[in-house]
Amino acid sequence: MFHFTALVTCLAISFYFFTTIQVSKARVAFGIKVPATSGNPDFERVFRVQMNTLEWMPIFLPSLWLFAIYISDAVAAVLGLVWIAGRILYMTGYSQAANKRGRGFGIQAAAAILLWAGELGAIVWRLLHP
């Protein structure tokens, strides 16, 4: 069973849900009517955090699960927590100013790359060494 990876998946989805709520709050705070996604730079940064998180989910989640299956549930979960921490740093930095998002982006990208490279390497290894 992959209990740790399942828990981290739930946390990642919870974080995405949190960013969705932040966009709703920002719409009210900055007077941005649905379906508009621009018009106020502060709102646009909140919206971009949510959309960027959504863009990373199809990279992160399959990599997280394949890593857990082929390598380790616990290590996948730790890297998943690093990814979430990076997303949180990205969100807090970007909410202050666009140029403050870099550190969080780098952390989450590194975690996603490690998950992807690890699972790919493990899959190729098993194909070559049945």
Task: pLDDT tens for the chain, 130 residues: list them.
Answer: 999 999 999 999 999 999 999 999 999 999 999 888 888 999 999 999 999 999 999 999 999 999 999 999 999 999 999 999 999 999 999 988 989 999 999 999 999 999 999 999 999 999 999 8
Q: Which residues of 102-111 are buried (b: 16+ CB within 10 A; e: fewer)?
A: eebbebbbeb
Residues 6+ positions from 39 with CB-CB distance below 8 Å: 30, 32
| pTM (global) more than 0.85 | yes
